[in-house]
């Protein structure tokens, strides 16, 4: 990889290249927006689509607050460029409930008091939805390990694990 | 993050053509390393060439009984692929020891190979770093170097390669297939990553206009006796201080073949044929494992904050070999070291 020095030696790129039309199905609704290529999926959701349920914690892939389901798989939206995901399906925390009926994970987080400040919660719940869809976690140890990408600054971890176990049972392993 | 141009590559030849046409361009796959570094201004490519639509997403058996893994196979899909779980569980285990479920869903096989060091000073553009800015000096040598290397270092750089997956690939003797303007070639895994020497800005031997297309595993996967043990500052979701990949073939109470590689200690996954030779023909047990650990760590040198890694690595090697010999591999979701 002989590229980095070349790229770094160059001037900071300040021209404004073209924007790209990006079409995403967000929580079941098809939406198109012109985006600059450096727009992350997280910023697109929050700043352009006003879907502020998805949180920005670290902006570097380290906390999981920005977790969404992209084509059914959990990813961190802060390290995802929107332009690269043209045509994809996105589910955010706003898209999990059906009308007034909470998603089983949302209900379980309430039942188990699985949050304090709530800042990590949308990411925790979307991540847990991904975890259940993956079907790799059976034991509490496995839930803890496979949820380790979601940091909770308030330390609600034991209750989060309990909530996920309840929802897993209620959902019979289905997302 | 700097502004940049964006284009999509339609096939491998197009990717090579596009990268050759623009010396300030970079490929982007999962983006989990590159976007992170761009947000810190460490990487400032003028163009990103999106390779995620290339047809490099399959895991297939080869004619000689090995497996070929496309460069765009996500880390999670690879770790959970039945062929890998059954025949190369060492690789599965190493991948699952790294990053988080979200990041493994995004990260590609090729990108994992090419991820850059986590050295604090490489990330901090306000400090000197020969890897980021050749000739500026190395802030880590006399700085906070707890996470840095103890083997194969140079005066110019003491960075480590942070990948877990690559430690298993080194032990398994994988091959890296690449495509460039003058055609295809394959690189033995031990020749892929480099030691820093006086050119620490080069992490590996991939040419400037080459794209990684696949990783190939040989038929032998050491599925019966293996273990991947990762030691880090917290129990999950942290880079290795030291990690060990061990793989053995046992025959009539003796070690017939051995593979041993270390992560978190050098600019590349660390192997040493003497350590493996020291195990061959021996009865598996503490005496042989101690000899192998000594051979593998020959020449290890600590800096102000990381000398602890030498003893830690020695004990981790012995423990991992014991786990492999007993067919009780470390399970990544169980945090008690068995
Ligand atoms: C918070 C966090 C924690 C992490 N923890 C761990 C850990 O514990 N263990 C671990 O091993 N890793 C860890 N990682 C690193 C992660 O594994 C890598 O970021 C990932 O594997 C990179 O793959 P990618 O596809 O996202 O690469 P990208 O970011 O897309 O690319 C990385 C580099 O590779 C180049 N590139 C990509 N694909 C190709 C190709 N096919 N041919 C040529 N060049 C290519 C790009 O130009 C770029 O320079 C962590 C990352 C984060 C953000
Ligand atoms: S160890 Fe290498 S990467 Fe870290 S500061 Fe020194 S030159 Fe830079
Ligand atoms: S905001 Fe994306 S992981 Fe922290
Ligand atoms: S509830 Fe406050 S960070 Fe998790």
Give the count of domains, chain A: 2
SS3 assignment, position B32: coil
Please state, as a whole number, how many other Cβ atoms lie within 10 Å of the Cβ of residue A9: 11
pLDDT at res. A8: 44
Q: Locate tokens 């059954």: which residue? A: B86
Write out the residue range of the structural domain in which residue A162 sits.
104-171
Nearest CA to B275 among B302, B257, B254? B257
State the Cα–Cα distance between residues A132 and A69, nearest whole angstrom.
12
Minimal C-alpha gap between B44 and chain A (Å): 6
Question: B39–A145: do the CB atoms touch at under 8 Å?
Answer: no
Question: Which residues fall within 8 angstroms of residue B138, CB to CB, at 6 or more apart?
Answer: B121, B128, B129, B130, B155, B156, B157, B158, B200
Question: Counting beta carbons within 10 angstroms of the beta carbon of residue B85, is it exposed (0 to 12), middle (13 to 18) or buried (19 or more)?
Answer: middle
Region(s) of chain B under CATH 3.30.43.10: 5-50
Closest by CA to A26, choosing from A4, A49, A43, is A49
Residue A15 has pLDDT above 80, yes or no: no
| Cβ–Cβ under 8 Å, residues A26 and A49 | yes
Of the candidates B118, B84, B119, B85, the one whose C-alpha atom is nearest the C-alpha of residue B99 is B118
Structural domain ending residue among the three candidates A52, A74, A95:
A95
A2 is a domain residue: no
Closest residue in chain B to residue A60, using alpha carbons only? B36
Measured distance between the N- and C-terminal CA atoms of chain B, rounded to whole angstroms: 44
pTM of the full structure? 0.96
The residue with tokens 């996470």 is B147
Please indicate, yes or no, whether residues A87 and A111 belong to a single structural domain of this protein: no
Query: Do A25 and A81 sit in the same domain of this protein?
Result: yes
Of residues B84, B96, B81, the one with CA closest to residue A146: B96
* Chain B residue whose CA is closest to A67: B102
Q: Give B160 Cα–ligand 2 centroid separation in angstroms.
A: 9
- CB B269 near ligand 1, within 6 Å: no
Identify the domain boundary among A70, A95, A120. Answer: A95
Last residue of a domain, one of A76, A95, A114: A95
Question: What's the token pair of residue B97?
Answer: 């020891």
Most distant CA atoms of chain B, gap in Å: 62
d(CA B250, CA B148): 34
Q: Which tokens hold the place of B202?
A: 């080069």
Q: What is the pLDDT of residue A175?
A: 53
pLDDT at A171: 79
Confidence of residue A174 (pLDDT cuts 50, 70, 90): low
In this prediction, residue B237 carries a pLDDT of 96
In a domain, residue A126? The reply is yes
Does residue A14 form part of some domain? no
Positions of CATH 3.30.390.50 in chain B: 225-325
Among candidate residues B180, B186, B189, the one with its CA nearest the CA of residue B208: B180
Give B31: exposed, middle or buried? Use CB within 10 Å, 0-12, 13-18, 19+: buried
Shared-domain flag, residues A125 and A167: yes
Spacing, Cα B240 to ligand 1 middle (Å): 15
Contact B282, B254 (CB under 8 A): yes
Statement to judge: residues A89 and A28 lie in one domain:
yes
The residue ranges of DSSP E strands in B276-336, in sequence order, are none
Contact at CB, B237 and A148, closer than 8 angstroms:
yes
Q: Which chain B residues touch A68 with a CB distance below 8 Å?
A: none
pLDDT in tens, A100-131: 999 999 999 999 999 999 999 999 999 999 99
Query: Low-confidence residues of chain B, pLDDT below 50?
Result: none
Give the number of C-alpha atoms closer than 13 A to the C-alpha of residue A89, restricted to the C-beta side.
Answer: 6
**Does residue A147 share a domain with residue A116?**
yes
What does the alpha-carbon distance between residue B279 and residue A38 come to, in Å, rounded to a whole number?
51
Helix, strand and coil content of chain A, in percent to the nearest 5, comes to 40, 15, 45
Size of the A and B interface in Cβ pairs below 8 Å: 139
What pLDDT score was predicted for residue A5? 45
| ipTM attached to this prediction | 0.96
Are the CB atoms for B101 and A145 separated by under 8 Å? no
Look at residues A84, A81, A86 and name the one whose alpha carbon lies nearest to residue A22. Answer: A86
Cβ separation A3–B99 shorter than 8 A: no
| A138 found inside a domain | yes
Q: Any idea what the CATH number is for the domain that residue A88 is in?
A: 3.10.20.30
- Nearest-Cα distance to chain B for A170, in Å, is 23
Please, are residues B68 and B60 in contact by the beta-carbon 8 Å criterion? yes
Which chain B residue's Cα is nearest to A77? B102
**Which tokens sit at B219?**
């038929």
- What separation in Å is there between the alpha carbon of B40 and the centre of ligand 2? 16
pLDDT of residue B304: 97
How many C-alpha atoms does A165 have within 13 Å on its Cβ side?
14
A131 vs A129: CA distance, rounded Å: 5
A31 with A80, same domain: the answer is: yes
Q: Is residue A11 part of a domain?
A: no
Same domain as A117, residue A89: no
Q: How far apart are CA B17 and CA B21, in angstroms?
A: 6
Report the pLDDT value the prediction gives residue B203, as an integer from 0 to 100.
98
CATH assignment of B5-50?
Answer: 3.30.43.10
Contacting residues of B for A150, CB less than 8 Å apart? 100
Of the listed ligands, the closest to the CA of A121 is 4
Q: Is the per-residue pLDDT at A6 higher than 70?
A: no
The two beta strands, B5-8 and B47-50, are parallel
Beta strand A29-35 with B175-180 is: unpaired
Spatial separation of the C-alpha atoms in residues B22 and B209, rounded to whole Å: 9
φ, ψ at B128 (rounded to 5°): -70, 145
Written as six digits, the tokens of A50 are: 């006003």
How far apart CA A105 and CA A98 sit, in angstroms, is 12
Residue A4 has pLDDT above 70, yes or no: no
* Dist. CA B93–CA B142, nearest whole Å: 35
- A145 and A81 in one domain? no
pLDDT tier for residue A3 given thresholds of 50, 70 and 90: low
CB B129 within 8 A of CB B118: no
User: Among 3.90.420.10, 3.40.50.300, 3.30.1440.10, 3.30.390.50, what is the CATH number of B225-325?
Assistant: 3.30.390.50
* Least Cα separation, residue A167 to chain B (angstroms): 19
Domain assignment present for residue A139? The answer is yes
User: Could you give the C-alpha distances from B209 to B19, B26, B166, B201, B321, in angstroms and in order?
Assistant: 6, 10, 22, 16, 40
DSSP state of A117: S
B152 lines ligand 1 (CB under 6 A): no
CATH of the domain at A132: 1.10.150.120
The chain B residue lying nearest A124, using CA atoms, is B102
User: How many angstroms separate the Cα of B1 from the Cα of each of A40, B13, B41?
Assistant: 10, 29, 6
For ligand 4, residues with CB inside 6 Å are: A 115-121, 152-154, 156
């Amino acid at each position: 990889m002989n590229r980095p020095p070349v790229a770094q030696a160059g001037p900071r790129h300040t021209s404004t290249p073209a924007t790209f039309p990006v079409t995403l199905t967000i929580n079941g609704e098809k939406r198109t927006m012109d985006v600059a290529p450096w727009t992350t999926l997280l910023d697109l959701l929050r700043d352009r689509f006003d879907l502020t349920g998805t949180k920005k914690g670290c902006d570097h892939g380290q906390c999981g607050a920005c977790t969404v389901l992209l084509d059914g798989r959990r990813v961190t939206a802060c390290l995802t460029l929107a332009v690269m995901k043209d045509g994809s399906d996105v589910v955010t925390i706003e898209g999990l409930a059906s009308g007034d009926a909470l998603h089983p994970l949302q209900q379980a987080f309430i039942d188990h008091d699985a949050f304090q400040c709530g800042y990590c919660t949308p990411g925790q719940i979307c991540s847990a939805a991904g975890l259940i869809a993956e079907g790799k976690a059976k034991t509490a140890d496995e839930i803890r390990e496979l949820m380790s990408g979601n940091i909770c600054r308030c330390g609600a971890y034991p209750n989060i694990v309990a909530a996920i176990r309840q929802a897993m049972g209620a959902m019979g392993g289905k997302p | 993050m700097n502004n940049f141009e964006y284009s999509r590559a339609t096939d491998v030849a197009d990717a090579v053509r596009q990268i050759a046409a623009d010396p300030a361009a970079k490929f982007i796959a999962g983006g989990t390393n590159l976007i992170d570094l761009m947000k810190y201004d460490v990487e400032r490519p003028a163009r990103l060439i999106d390779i995620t639509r290339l047809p490099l997403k399959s895991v297939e058996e080869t004619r000689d009984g090995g497996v070929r893994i496309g460069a765009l196979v996500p880390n999670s899909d690879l770790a959970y692929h039945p062929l890998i779980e059954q025949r190369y569980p060492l690789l599965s285990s190493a991948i699952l020891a790294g990053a988080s479920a979200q990041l493994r869903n995004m990260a590609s096989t090729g990108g994992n190979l090419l991820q850059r060091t986590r050295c604090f000073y490489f990330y901090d553009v306000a400090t000197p770093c020969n890897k980021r800015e050749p000739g500026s000096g190395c802030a880590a040598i006399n700085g906070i170097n707890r996470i840095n290397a103890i083997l194969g270092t140079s005066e110019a750089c003491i960075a480590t390669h942070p990948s877990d997956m690559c430690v298993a690939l080194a032990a398994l003797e994988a091959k890296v297939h690449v495509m460039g303007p003058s055609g295809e070639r394959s690189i033995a895994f031990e020749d892929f990553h480099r030691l820093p020497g006086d050119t620490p800005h080069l992490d590996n031997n991939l040419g400037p206009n080459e794209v990684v297309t696949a990783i190939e595993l040989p038929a032998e996967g050491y599925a019966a006796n293996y273990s991947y043990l990762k030691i880090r500052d917290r129990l999950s979701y942290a880079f290795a201080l030291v990690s060990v990949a061990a793989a053995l073939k046992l025959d009539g109470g003796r070690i017939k073949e051995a593979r041993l590689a270390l992560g978190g200690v050098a600019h590349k996954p660390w192997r040493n044929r003497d350590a493996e030779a020291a195990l061959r023909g021996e009865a598996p047990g503490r005496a042989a494992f101690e000899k192998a650990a000594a051979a593998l760590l020959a020449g290890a040198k600590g800096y102000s904050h990381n000398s602890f890694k030498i003893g830690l690595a020695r004990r981790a090697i012995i423990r991992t070999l014991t786990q492999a010999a007993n067919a009780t591999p470390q399970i990544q979701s169980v945090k008690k070291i068995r």
